[in-house]
Amino acid sequence: MESITVGQFDLIYNSFSFTIAVMGAATIFAFLGRSQVGPAYRTALTLSGLVTAIACYHYVRIFNSWEAAYVLTNGKMTLTGVPFNDAYRYVDWLLTVPLLLVELILVMRLSSKETIAKGLRLGLLAALMVILGYPGEVSATTNGRWLWWILAMIPFVIIVYDLSAGLRASIDKQPDSVKSLVRTARTLTIASWCFYPIVFIFPMIGFTGGNATTAVQVGYTIADIVSKAVFGVLIYMIAIRKSEAENYAGSALPAATK
């Protein structure tokens, strides 16, 4: 842990609190939205809400751990000696990243066989990616960070390739009204995911001390909000439009679309 300024401490502190509110709101949005979509899409919204609920729980823990790690003494932030627990992010990702991928697959409503095969494959690759990233995050040396970063990038690249190439045929089979939305969801997933390995290398490319801590914590927080909460809203919109296309009675869009 590095020494940081009062301004940096507050920025991170307020980002964490903001994220608790965002994740909690996204959870309620997803769960309430379930009744507005056809039965086939409800599990996707359930998973969307679970992802943000799990993230909300972990941001409460992260917030508390952050608060316990520093104390304001004579106008300066000093370390209390209680270490800030970086592991909360990784146990969060271990659960939520596979769920996010399954959520994307479920909303596409592929065949049962394809759903299970793609879900298992992407879910396991995502878990492997997170597990390989953690030793790097807590590594004391820059070389250690690079080694595990490179190892974690192997499943990462396979997942991104699967999402961009492997899902193309499935996207082409989607109704016209949602094709572009599904493409956006996929692009958002890939783009927000690319954020993580970039944030990870901040301390290796010149950010030091409080600047490194701030860049990493705020960076991961923004990436989490986009890849979980914003992504959840897209999944909801896809589910609503597909329910409409399939003439599900309860699914009238909030906005008149014709």
CB closer to a copy of itself out of 68 and 204: 68
Q: Is 231 exposed, middle or buried (0-12, 13-18, 19+ CB in 10 A)?
A: buried
Min CB(157)–a copy of itself separation in Å? 26
Residue 171 and residue 179 in contact, taking contact as beta carbons nearer than 8 Å: yes
Distance CA 99, CA 36 (A): 21
CB closer to a copy of itself out of 54 and 223: 54
Conformational region of residue 247, where left means phi above 0, alpha means psi within -120 to 50, and beta covers everything else: left
* 140 contacts a copy of itself (rule: CB under 8 A): no
CB closer to a copy of itself out of 201 and 233: 233
Distance CA 88, CA 82 (A): 15
Distance CA 74, CA 36 (A): 54
Residue span 155-194 as binding mask against a copy of itself, x where in contact by CB under 8 A, dash where not: ----------------------------------------
Distance CA 243, CA 246 (A): 5
- Phi/psi for 60 (5° steps) reads -65, -45
* 82 contacts a copy of itself (rule: CB under 8 A): yes
Strand partners, 76: 73
* 54 contacts a copy of itself (rule: CB under 8 A): yes
Running DSSP on this structure, what letter comes out for residue 246?
T
* 60 contacts a copy of itself (rule: CB under 8 A): no
* 94 contacts a copy of itself (rule: CB under 8 A): yes
CB closer to a copy of itself out of 31 and 195: 31
CB closer to a copy of itself out of 40 and 190: 40
**Under rule CB under 8 A, which residues in 5-34 are in contact with a copy of itself?**
10, 14, 17-18, 20-22, 24-25, 28-29, 31-34
- End-to-end CA distance of the chain, in Å? 55
Residue 28 and residue 216 in contact, taking contact as beta carbons nearer than 8 Å: no
CB closer to a copy of itself out of 206 and 254: 254
* 109 contacts a copy of itself (rule: CB under 8 A): yes
* 136 contacts a copy of itself (rule: CB under 8 A): no
Residue 58 and residue 92 in contact, taking contact as beta carbons nearer than 8 Å: yes
**Contact residues: a copy of itself, CB under 8 A:** 10, 14, 17-18, 20-22, 24-25, 28-29, 31-36, 38-44, 46, 49-50, 53-54, 57-58, 61, 72, 81-83, 85, 87-88, 91-92, 94-95, 106, 109-112, 114-116, 249-257
